[in-house]
Amino acid sequence: MNEIILDTDITSFIFNGHTLAQRYESLIGGRERFICFATLGEIHEGLYRSNWSRAKIDLCLKSAKLYPVVYPDALICETWGWVRSIRKNRQIALNDAWIAASAISYSVPLATHNASDFADIPGLQLLTI
């Protein structure tokens, strides 16, 4: 497969032209990019918390629409439950569990700058720098 799921941090780097964006662009390459529905929610949360102009918010939302969104189905829901259960001694954030479950369910890598948030999850392939 030539697809990848982007974690919220990577999406933010790309949208905001962060200095790490170019390094991640090189790592991700020509893969088709997807975001999890939880990432879309986190993007909206960040926009609501920002003091950005309406024009900048609209530009960010337009950029977010470039990435197809992965919504939960039965397999992703089952995988989410499994991810949460195996991380019982080192709790994983709810949204991170959805993001990981999406990547595992679709058998695609997850690009993240927060690899430690996703540590010790069998079957999850991380791309990070």
pLDDT in tens, 42-83: 998 988 898 888 888 888 888 778 899 999 999 999 999 999
Backbone angles phi, psi at 111, to 5 degrees: -90, 125
Pick the CATH number of 3-127 from 3.40.50.1170, 3.40.50.620, 3.40.710.10, 3.40.50.1010: 3.40.50.1010
- Strands 69-70, 126-127: pairing is unpaired
- Of residues 113, 110, 103, the one with CA closest to residue 126: 110
Is residue 6 predicted with pLDDT exceeding 80? yes
Please report, for the chain, the start and end positions of each structural domain, with discontinuous segments joined by +.
3-127
Is residue 126 predicted with pLDDT exceeding 80? yes
Strand pairing partners for 35?
6, 69
The angle that helices 8-16 and 37-49 make with each other, rounded to 10 degrees, is 50
CB burial of residue 26 (10 Å; 0-12, 13-18, 19+): exposed
Lowest-pLDDT choice from 37-46, 91-100, 104-113: 37-46
pTM of the model: 0.92
pLDDT in tens, 49-58: 988 888 888 8
Backbone angles phi, psi at 88, to 5 degrees: -65, -30
